[in-house]
Chains A and B, each alone.
Chain A
Amino acid sequence: MDLNKRYTPQTWPDHPETATLEGKNKFVGFWLLLAAETVTFASLFATYLALKDKGPSGMEFSASGLFELPLVFAMTMILLTSSLTSVYAMYHMKNHNFKAMQAWLGITVLLGLAFLGLEIYEFNHYVHLGFGYTNSAFSSAFYTLVGTHGAHVVFGLSWFIALMLRNAKRGLNMYNAPKFYLAALYWHFIDVVWVFIFTVVYLMGVIG
C-alpha cells in the first residue's frame, strides 16, 4: 500500500473502509468482535437483572429509591448526539474531506468527555450516599455493568484521540480510513449499549 498516494474526492473510493483486503478483513473481524461484546454485555445485563435490589438483609438501597432520571436523561441525550456527530464525521470521511471529519470527531470526543464527566459525578454521588461497590450484590452488579460501559467509553475516546493526533498532519489514505471507520463503529456500539442501560437499569429501575 502506498501511503503517499494522493486522493481527491473524485478518485477516493465510495467505501474506503472496505476497498483493500486489509480493510475488508478488519471490517468483518470488527463486526465479529462486536458480536462477542454483545454476548459480554448480555451476560452483564442478565447478572444485573438477577441481582437487582438484592443485598444483605435490611439493605436501604433499591433501584427505585436510588436512581433519578434527569441527569441520566441528559447523559443519554449527550451520548446519542455524539453518535450523530460521529456519523457526520464518517460522511466527510467518505467524501475525503479530512478537515471536516476531524472537526466532527473533535465534537464527538467533547460530547463523550461530557458524558464521562457526568457518569463520574453520578457514581461519586452514589458512593457518598453509602452505595459503594462492596455494599451489596446489587451495587456490585450495577457498577460492573455500567462501569464496563464506562470503560468502553474511555477506550473509544482514547482511540478517537490517538487516531486524530496521529493522522493530523497527513490526512486520509487507504491505510487509516478503515481505522477511522472502525472507531466510529465502536462508538455506535457503545451508544447502543447505553440505550439498553438507560432502559433496563434506569427506566425499569425507577418504575420499580
Chain B
Amino acid sequence: MSSNSQKKGFGATIWDYMTTVDHKKIAILYLISGGFFFLVGGVEAMMIRIQLMKAGNDFLSAGTYNEVLTMHGTTMIFLAAMPILLAFMNAVSPLQIGARDVAFPFLNSLGFWLFFFGGVFLNLSWFLGGAPDAGWTNYASLALASEGHGIDFYSLGLTISGFGTLIAGINFLVTIINMRAPGMTYMRMPLFTWTTFVASALILLAFPPLTVGIFFMVFDRLFGANFFDVTMGGNTIIWEHFFWIFGHPEVYILILPAFGIFSEIFAIFSRKRLFGYTALVFATILIGFYGFMVWAHHMFTVGLGPTANAVFALATMIIAVPTGIKIFNWLLTIWGGNISFTVPMIYAVAFIPSFVAGGVTGVMQAIAPLDYQLHDSYFIVAHFHYVIVGGVVLAILAGTHLYWPKMFGTMLSEKLGKWTFWFFFIGFHLTFFIQHFLGLMGMPRRVYTFGADQGWDLFNAISSAGALLMAIGVIILLVNVVMTVVKGERVGNDPWGDGRTLEWAIPSPPPFYNFAQTPLVRGLDPYWIEKMEGNKEGMVYAEPLGDIHMPNGSFIPFVISLGMFIAAFGAMYHMDGHVWALPVLIGGLAITFGSMLVRSLKDDLGFHISKEELIADNERIQREARALEGGKKGGLK
C-alpha cells in the first residue's frame, strides 16, 4: 500500500491511480484531467478568436462556430475550472484541518471517476456526429431544435459529471464538519478550508436543480416528454430558471475557492496574519447565501415584470458589499506586511484590480434598465471573462505554483512562472478590456462573423492578438511543468519558508497517512504559532503515536462510473431506433447498480498501519529531510 516506499512499474502505477482512495492522489488525478480539459477549452478559445480576427472570416463555418463556442464554455466551467479547484481542495483542505483523509475516501474516488467519464462522454461528441451547439446555457428553445446528438451529449455528460461534483461536495462538507483535529474550531479554520466548505454547500444545493433541468431536457429529447414544448403546454422558461438557479451559485462555487487561495497567498507572502479574518469568513458565508437569490438577473430581458426585476436587481447589488469587504481585507493584509513577490503573490496582486473591474461591470448589469442595453452584447462577454479569468483562472495559476511543491514535492521555476504571468496577464487584459467597447458599439455575442462595414475590425484584431499572448503564457507554463518534473529537485516541508497552516508542517508530498500523529491546534495559523515559539518538532501533537486505520483502495468507483458512461450511449441512441440501444442502456445501469450492490454487501473494513511501520517510515522521512538540508537549502532563499 505504501506507495512512497518503493518504485513501481508503469502499469502498477496506473492501476494504483485507478483504484486509489487517497485524497492526495485523487487531487493529482483532478489536476491532470482538469488541466487537460483546460488545454482543450483553450484551443477552442483560440479557434473562436481566429475566426473573429477579421471581418467575414471563413476559418470556421457558422455551425462549427456554434459548436466550438458551446464547448468552450461548457468545458472551461464544468471540466476545467471546477475540477482544478477540486484538485486543490482535495490536496490541501484535509491537511489544513489536520485530517487523516476525507470522510468518504471511496466516494471521493467515485466523484472523480464520474466527473472524468462525464467529461470524456461530452467530448466524444466531436467524433460522433457533432458537438452541442446551443451555448453553454443550452436554452431549451434552441436546444430542442438542435439536430443530431450534440445536445444529448451535453445533457448526459453533464448529468454524469454533475453527480460526481455533488458527491465531492457532500464529502468535503462532512470532512470539515467531522474530521477537524483537536483545537481546530470553525473560527480557526484557514480561509481556503472555509471557502471549500461554503462552496461545497453551494454545490450541494445548486446541482440538484441543474440535474432536474437536464433530466427534463433528456426526457423531452429522448423520451417524448413535453416540459419545454410550448405546443404541448410546456414552458421553455422553466429551463432558464433551473439553469440559472444552478448557474449563479455555480459562479460562486468557482470564485469562493479562488478567494480562498488568494487569502492564503496574501497571508503567506505578506508574512502577516490575515486582516479581518472574521469579516472574511462572514463575507464568504454571505456571498454563498446571496448567491442563491440573484439568479433572475440573467433573465432581466425575459419579461418577468418590473417587480421581479427590481427585487433581483437589488439582491444582486447587495452581493457587491461582502465582496468589497473581502477586497479591503486583502489590501489591509498586504499593508505594512513584509512582502515577497513570488509568482503566487504576483498573481494575487494582479487579481485585485482585474477582479474589481469585473465586479464593477457586474454592478452595472445589475441595473435592470441598463441591462436591456448590455444584454447579449460583447459587454457581457467582457464582464464574465473579467471575473472568471481575472478571478478564477488567475487563482488556478497562482494555486498551481503555490501548491505544486505540496502535491509533487518539487518546485516550479519562479523565472518561467513570471514569464507565464506577464504573457498571460497582459494578454488577458488585451483580449477582454476592448470587448467592453465592442459591446457598447453594438457587437452581439455568439455571432460567428461580422461585416467589414461595421467598424469592429480593429478591436477584434486586438482582442485576438491578446488571446495569442495568453496561449504563449500557457505554453511557457507547460514547459515549466515538464522541466520541473524532469529535474525532480526535492523540497522540504515548507518550501516557501513562510507557511502558516498545517499543510506546511508535513513533508512534501505528505506520506499517504498524512499526519503520523494528529496535531493539536492552538490558534489561527497553527504552524506559524509553533514556528514563532521555536518548536523544533514542527507541531504539538494531540495523541501518542499509535496504529492508524486506513481505507482500502477500490476499483468499484471506476466500474460504477463506466456503467453510467455505457448506459448514456444506450439512452442516446435509443431515440434513433437502434435495436442494440435498449440492451446497452439496461446493461450499463446493471453494471452501475450491480457494483453499488457489491460495494454495499461486501465488508470493507480497511487496514491498519502498525506503530512500528510508522516509526520506520518516520525515520525514512527524517533521513530524507536531513539529506535535503545537507545538500541544498530547500525552497526560496
Contacts and interface: CB of A to CB of B under 8 A. Distances in A.
A51 B233 contact: yes
A109 B261 CA distance: 49
Contact of A140 (B178, B205, B226): B226
B145 interface: no
Interface in A1-39: 1, 3, 21, 24-25, 28-29, 32-33, 35-37, 39
A124 interface: no
Contacts of B166: 36
Given A28-B103, A140-B226, 12 more contacts: A3-B605, A29-B103, A36-B166, A36-B170, A43-B209, A47-B216, A54-B233, A134-B226, A137-B233, A140-B227, A140-B234, A166-B600
Contacts, number: 112
Interface string A169-208: 0000001000100000000000000000000000000000
Contacts of B224: 133-134
A29 B175 CA distance: 9
Interface of B: 103-104, 166, 170-171, 173-174, 177-179, 204-205, 207-209, 211-213, 215-216, 219-220, 223-227, 229, 231-235, 238, 242, 245, 597, 600-601, 603, 605
Contacts of B219: 140, 144
B603 A137 contact: no
A36 B178 contact: no
A24 B178 CA distance: 8
Given A43-B242, A47-B216, A25 B208 contact: no
A141 interface: yes
Given A140-B226, A144-B219, A144-B225, A55 B601 contact: no
19 contacts: A1-B605, A28-B174, A29-B170, A32-B174, A36-B204, A36-B205, A39-B205, A43-B242, A51-B227, A59-B233, A133-B223, A134-B223, A137-B232, A137-B235, A162-B597, A162-B600, A162-B601, A175-B603, A179-B600
A21 B213 CA distance: 36
A85 interface: no
A47 B227 contact: yes
Nearest to B549: A1
A163 B232 CA distance: 44
Contact of B235 (A39, A40, A50, A144): A50
A115 interface: no
Nearest to A141: B227
A40 B215 CA distance: 11
Contacts of B104: 25, 29
A167 to B, nearest CB: 10
Interface string A132-156: 0110111111001000000000000
B208 A43 contact: yes
Interface in A109-140: 133-134, 136-140
B212 A137 contact: no
A189 B423 CA distance: 54
Contacts of A51: 227, 233-235, 238
Nearest to B205: A39
A3 to B, nearest CB: 7
A22 to B, nearest CB: 9
A44 interface: yes
Q: How large is the interface on A (under 10, 10 to 19, 20 to 34, 35 or more residues)?
A: 35 or more
A51 B230 CA distance: 11
A70 interface: no
B233 A138 contact: yes
Contacts of A139: 226
A136 B103 contact: no
Given A36-B205, A43-B209, A144-B216, A56 B231 contact: yes
Contacts of B209: 39-40, 43
Contacts of B234: 51, 54, 137, 140
Contact of B212 (A24, A32, A44, A179): A44
B178 A50 contact: no
B623 to A, nearest CB: 33
Contact of A55 (B173, B215, B232): B232
A29 B361 CA distance: 39
A157 to B, nearest CB: 14
A56 B235 CA distance: 12
Contacts of B232: 55-56, 136-137
Contacts of B231: 56
A144 B234 CA distance: 14
B226 A137 contact: yes
Contacts of B220: 140
Contact of A25 (B174, B204, B225, B229): B174
A182 to B, nearest CB: 11
Contacts of A33: 170
A174 B31 CA distance: 37
A138 B223 CA distance: 15
Given A134-B225, A141-B227, A25 B103 contact: yes
Nearest to B226: A137
Interface in A86-114: none
Contacts of A162: 597, 600-601
A187 B224 CA distance: 31
Contacts of A32: 170, 173-174, 204
Contacts of B226: 55, 134, 136-137, 139-140
A47 B233 CA distance: 12
A159 B600 CA distance: 9
A84 B303 CA distance: 48
Contact of A40 (B171, B212, B238): B212
Interface string A52-81: 001110010000000000000000000000
